[in-house]
Amino acid sequence: MEYTSHSDDTRHHMLKAIGVERFEDLLEAIPQEIRLTRPMDVPQGLAEADVESLLESLAAQNSVAPTVTSFLGGDVYDHHIPAAVDHVGGRSEFFTAYTPYQAEVAQGTLQATYEFQSMIRRLTAMDVAQASLYDGGSAIAEAALMALGQTKRNQVIIAGTLNPRHRGVLETYLTAQGVDIKTIVADNGTADLEELKTSVSDDTACVIMPSPNYFGVIDNWSDGATIAHEHGALFVAMFKPVSLGVLQPPGECDVDIAVGEGQCLGNTPSFGGPLLGLMASRRDYVRRLPGRLVGRSVDADGQPAFVMTLQTREQHIRREKATSNICTAQALLATRAAIYLSLLGKQGFTGLAETCQRRAHYCAEQISELKGFSVPFGPAFFNEFVVDSPLPARQLLERLQKRGILGGIELGERFPGFDNRILVCVTERHSRETIDRFVKELNAAAGETGQSGEPSEEYAHDRVS
């Protein structure tokens, strides 16, 4: 007697209901030569308990935050996230109300977006901020499109100190449009302003400069903006949000458009995403901002009401008038960022930045005392810095990982001549003891036995505000 499973009966009835005898009958429109003629290499279905066990075994192969010490950075950072961020951001009012398609009834979502915009505007000291973008890379690309549209020019100049992933996004956006992308050499970890002076022309739409840059070095936005403006080009600043707790904001440096990666504001590193693109600009360019912008008004009864003030995307206006094809915002991550900034406040945010900077400089000082190691780009950095090691970076990082430490980012893959260099990031989550262990393991991984100096007394009493 042939056994027929319940699932087989169900499939037969479903096929019969749509008028075919076999599943293969549904594939008649697909040419035979491109059909898969062998069974797919997919395991048979498992019971729920077996699937759970399998996933647990696969997950156990990953290095997760509680079991390793991470010094990774590169625009994705591991900061402490107050418990209230998860509690408030996880409420159904925020977690399910993703985007205000019926704006007039989505007052809660609109207000949350308005508060986020207001905080980013204050953080950057710019005139206006929009409702967020996919990530820092798309924010840079959209800023370039804004400048190209505003100036009607065809060249974009970028500093060679830009995050290489962000550069890749920019090239994806612009190369097919025939835009000339010119890169300024990174001299000693910073943008070469003399080369910038000779590179900017009357065809330059904008100059893009990060600070702190990908190597952690603090660049001079004001000088870069002056050079750009002398030729009528716009100046785009790429900022790191936490650094603005101690550094001068872009709005005070004659910047036209400011962009940043906002993952560090209350969002987890996860596996490198999802991320949160930040953008703010001068009021002159408000109608070129991509996505949407929420404003505050009053209703018919004179009560406060929030409205979609500007919607420059193709879903809301005639396609040929759209400034961008950005179709959404990272609304949930932006809401978490607003909650995070509200919890810290101005004093707490400044304290966070100061702590990150102090601990990073302590770490760099200790590493520079090790035999064969150096910090090549000097003291002008925030919380990331480049380390020159006596070993190839990949070999050193592999040795550190066996000791439970993710020691940083290998730079040689993207930057020629940097094979022995790694990018190290320090945040408030790295205690003095954690840093001292890292330095000790660096020393051991390099095969040396010398010991670092004792921690400074000032750092020994350091606490997060």
**Do 146 and 180 sit in the same domain of this protein?**
yes
Range from 60-74, 246-260, 356-370 carrying the lowest mean pLDDT: 60-74
Q: Residues 299, 410: one domain?
A: no
Domain containing residue 273: CATH number: 3.40.640.10
Q: What pLDDT is stored for residue 195 in this prediction? A: 96
Tell me, yes or no, whether 112 and 235 share the same domain.
Answer: yes
Last residue of a domain, one of 307, 339, 371: 339
Same structural domain, 303 and 382? no
Check if the beta carbon of residue 383 is closer than 8 Å to that of residue 426. Answer: yes
In a domain? residue 148: yes
| Per-residue pLDDT, 10 | 82
> Mean per-residue pLDDT for 333-357?
97
In this predicted structure, the answer to whether residue 139 has a pLDDT above a threshold of 60 is yes
Does position 369 have pLDDT exceeding 60, yes or no? yes
Task: Choose one of 293, 323, 339: the last residue of a domain.
Answer: 339
Residues 145 and 235 in one domain: yes
Q: How confident is the model over 364-373, as a mean pLDDT?
A: 97
Of 15-24, 26-35, 314-323, the least confident? 314-323
Q: How many domains does the chain have?
A: 2
What pLDDT was estimated at residue 311? 76
**pLDDT at 106 exceeding the cut of 90:** no
Are both 349 and 378 inside the same structural domain?
A: yes
Give the residue-averaged pLDDT of 167-195: 93
Confidence tier at 462 by pLDDT (50, 70, 90): very low
pTM to 2 decimal places: 0.85
Report pLDDT for 314. Answer: 54
Return the higher-pLDDT residue of 455 and 277. Answer: 277
Percent of the chain with pLDDT over 90: 72
Co-location of 375 and 277 in the same domain: no
3-state secondary structure the chain: CCCCCHHHHHHHHHHHHCCCCCHHHHHCCCCHHHCCCCCCCCCCCCCHHHHHHHHHHHHCCCCCHHHCEECCCCCCCCCCCCHHHHHHHCCHHHHCCCCCCCHHHCHHHHHHHHHHHHHHHHHHCCCEECCCECCHHHHHHHHHHHHHHHHCCCEEEEECCCCHHHHHHHHHHHHHHCCEEEEECEECCEECHHHHHHHCCCCEEEEEEEECCCCCECCCHHHHHHHHHCCCCEEEEEECHHHHHCCCCHHHCCCCEEEEECCCCCCCCECCECCCEEEEECHHHHHHCCCEEEEEEECCCCCEEEEEEEECECCCCCHHHCCECCCCCCHHHHHHHHHHHHHHHHHHHHHHHHHHHHHHHHHHHHHHCCCCCECCCCCCECCEEEEECCCCHHHHHHHHHHCCEECCEECCCCCCCCCCEEEEECCCCCCHHHHHHHHHHHHHHCCCCCCCCCCCHHHHCCCCC
Q: Is 34 within the bounds of a domain?
A: no
- Tell whether 168 and 260 lie within a shared domain: yes
pLDDT beyond 80 at 372: yes
Residue 231 lies in a domain: yes
The mean pLDDT value for 201-212 works out to 98
Residue 136 lies in a domain: yes
Lowest mean pLDDT among 193-197, 303-307, 459-463: 459-463
Residue 214 lies in a domain: yes
Same domain as 230, residue 351: no
Same domain as 423, residue 290 = no
Residue 247 covered by a domain: yes
Asked whether residue 458 carries a pLDDT value surpassing 50, the answer given is: no
Arithmetic mean of pLDDT over the chain: 90
User: Where is pLDDT greater, at 457 or 73?
Assistant: 73
d(CA 143, CA 255): 12
User: Is residue 114's pLDDT more than 60?
Assistant: yes
Summarised one tens digit per residue, pLDDT across range 401-417 is: 999 999 999 999 999 99
Judge whether residue 456 has pLDDT over 70: no
In this structure, are 367 and 291 located in the same domain?
no
Is 20 inside any structural domain? Answer: no
**459 vs 277, higher pLDDT:** 277
Which pLDDT band, with edges at 50, 70 and 90, does 324 fall under? confident
Q: Is the pLDDT of residue 116 over 70?
A: yes
Question: What does the pLDDT read at residue 342?
Answer: 97
Q: What is the CATH number of the domain that holds 366?
A: 3.90.1150.10
User: Is residue 229 in a domain?
Assistant: yes
Question: Domain boundary residue among 339, 361, 385?
Answer: 339
17-26, 145-154, 285-294, 320-329: least confident range? 320-329
Looking at the fold, whether 132 and 277 belong to one and the same domain comes out as yes
**Structural domain boundaries enclosing 172:** 83-339
Nearest to 392 by CA among 423, 425, 421: 421
